[in-house]
Structure 1
Amino acid sequence: MASYHVRSNSLPSRPHPITSEVDQRLSTLRSSPATSTSSSSSSICHEINGLQDLHGCVDKLLQLPLVQQALGQEQQKILVDMLLDGSLWILDVSSIAKDALLQIKECVQGLSSVLRRRRGDEISSEVKKYLTSRKAVKKTIRKALKGMENKCSSKTNEEHETITMLREVEASTFAVFESLLSLISGPKASSKSGWSLVSKLIHSKRIACEEEESDMNEFVKVDAALSTLTSKSDNIICVQNQLKELESNIQDLEEGIESLSRHLIKSRVSLLNILNN
């Protein structure tokens, strides 16, 4: 009696080392989630670096002939197309984050320059410009955050296990970008708990010089300090130091996002090639 070998849609019982590495990096990201209200720029940078490593592994995974063959099957192509839609959303969010950081950095540089000159009229004008810019950035970010809700697709019974893995990568990427955008925007003005954090700094004599404020991130600290800053304030030097630190942190975030974006684009191209073959 003749026997027939049926090809499975799943990866081999002994997973490829790249598959195992993707799983490992996903687990690492899940075990150290960045929270939106208390995360610092350094912790988000760490998460972004983790995403860079993860997406580097994903692109290697997408180069495997077995994976390309499986994802290229007709029943999987609609799911690959959904992943492409998700990757486009992530790139859009990445662009929003980069634009927001650039806008804030330019305002920080202008304000730092004015504070060095100690001219009262210019300080007041530049502070107003910074806070107005922050308000616009927050509005844009909150719109983006609202649009990100429920963007990750639900699992189906027919999908290849690599699709499931890529969905998990997509979800983890969205989560990190959500934390990044929340870090930049700070607490909502309508949130009593959020603005109580700002008030705590505004009414403190150590507004900008406090070394440890575990429930405040760098963006919120600067917002709070500038809310009471005048040309006669005795904390100008401390605010200058705070602005310098914020600018440095923004630079680190920008570099991380730029590098991550290159990985995202590379993986997207790989998916497009699979879909079009």
Structure 2
Amino acid sequence: MAPGFARSVSLPLSPSRKIASFHVRSVSLPCQTHPIIFNLEEQIQTVQSWATNPERSSAWIVAGLVQIDLLHTALEDFLQLSQTQETLQHSAPVDQVPDDLLQLVDFYGSFLSNIGTLKQCNSEVQSALRRQDGVQMASSLRSQLHAEKEMAQLASGLRRMTKCKHLSLSPDAKELEIVKEAICTTAFASVAVFMEVGALSAAASSTKMNSATKSLKRFAINTSLKKRGTDVERDVVSLERLEELEENIRDIEFSSERLFKSLINSRISLLNITSSL
């Protein structure tokens, strides 16, 4: 941060929308704020706004991942400021911050692994549906359900990071509070991402895929049974939904990989700062 700028950090209460176990705060740095700090402030507020206004769609998920990525790009710029580095080097609680970022990296590594599993299961279900293989479809759907449950478990584990602790810092150590705010906001928004990806997968494979599975099981038992027109139409609709899910997962995976790299870069920058203590 350029010396000589008068600044203050304000952390107001949560927004009007009720959010369980997380107090969304807004970093406010008025009075000739450095452009890099102003940008980071805006990115934090944008991510908070996105997470508190869900639209339940793949486009909403991708938009959120892109916004979180922009937040960490802004955080990376903030960590390059000489004033930021100097202040963090003299902030006693700073050692925990790289560990918090490491947790985020681990969570997103597991998230990407689950995305890969969902993509594979989705492909297997499509193949089984086309080949009328009820046994394979049932097996793939069970694997998909397991991946969806793991996604929910990741979100549950990540929630503990959303319980940000208010630090009692001197006015000259507010850079650390800003960094922690960025990490906490990332964790909060990531819970929404993980939950919605699981819900997106479940919505594409639940009702209609269950009906298709029952039909295919009947077909496997009696191979002489001819499928009725309604069964064929139902399978076509199921395939369309699965193809749409495949495209959505591909977009989410791409955005998640970009964010994963940004999280790693943020942690490396913080480690470089703390290692010079």
Q: Tell me the TM-score range normalised by the shorter chain.
A: 0.7 to 0.9
Matched, 1:245 2:237: no
Contact persistence 1:183–1:219 (CA under 8 A): no
CA RMSD of aligned residues (A): 2.5
**Which one-letter code corresponds to 1:71 in the other structure?**
L
Name the counterpart of 1:173. Answer: 186
Name the counterpart of 2:20. Answer: none
Name the counterpart of 1:194. Answer: none
Name the counterpart of 1:163. Answer: 176
1:182 paired residue among 174, 195, 207: 195
Matched, 1:221 2:204: yes
| Aligned-partner Cα distance in 1 for 2:48–2:155 | 20
Task: Spell out, residue by residue over 1:122-170, the C-alpha distance to the aligned partner (whole angstroms, 9 max, x if none).
Answer: 1x12321222112322332333233223324402112622222222211
Name the counterpart of 2:271. Answer: 272
Distance 1:77 1:224, change over 3 A: farther
1:19 paired residue among 18, 27, 37: 37
Which portions of structure 1, spanning 4 or more consecutive aligned residues, are displaced by more than 3 angstroms?
Answer: 8-13
Name the counterpart of 1:209. Answer: none
Shift of 1:81: 1.9
Name the counterpart of 1:97. Answer: 111
Task: Spell out, residue by residue over 1:215-246, the C-alpha distance to the aligned partner (whole angstroms, 9 max, x if none).
Answer: xx454132222111124423111111111110
1:44 paired residue among 49, 52, 61: 61
Name the counterpart of 2:142. Answer: 132
| Aligned-partner Cα distance in 1 for 2:179–2:207 | 40
Contact persistence 2:43–2:71 (CA under 8 A): yes
Contact persistence 1:34–1:47 (CA under 8 A): no
| DSSP-derived class of the 2:51 partner | coil
Distance 1:67 1:22, change over 3 A: same
| Aligned-partner Cα distance in 2 for 1:12–1:77 | 26
Shift of 1:13: 5.2
| Aligned-partner Cα distance in 1 for 2:45–2:112 | 27
Name the counterpart of 2:235. Answer: 236
Distance 1:12 1:218, change over 3 A: closer
**Which one-letter code corresponds to 2:89 in the other structure?**
G
**Which one-letter code corresponds to 1:267 in the other structure?**
S
Name the counterpart of 1:148. Answer: 158
Name the counterpart of 2:49. Answer: 31
Q: TM-score if structure 1 supplies the norm length?
A: 0.77
**Which one-letter code corresponds to 1:39 in the other structure?**
R
Shift of 1:77: 4.0
Instruction: List gaps (5 residues or longer) in structure 1.
Output: 1-5, 187-216
Matched, 1:63 2:63: no
**Which one-letter code corresponds to 1:135 in the other structure?**
L
Identity between Structure 1 and Structure 2 (%): 24
Task: Spell out, residue by residue over 1:46-72, the C-alpha distance to the aligned partner (whole angstroms, 9 max, x if none).
Answer: 011011111111101101111101101
Instruction: List gaps (5 residues or longer) in structure 2.
Output: 9-28, 217-226
| DSSP-derived class of the 1:44 partner | helix
Task: Spell out, residue by residue over 1:20-56, the C-alpha distance to the aligned partner (whole angstroms, 9 max, x if none).
Answer: 00111112222222667x6111101001101111111
Moved more, 245-254 or 10-19: 10-19
| Aligned-partner Cα distance in 1 for 2:249–2:52 | 17
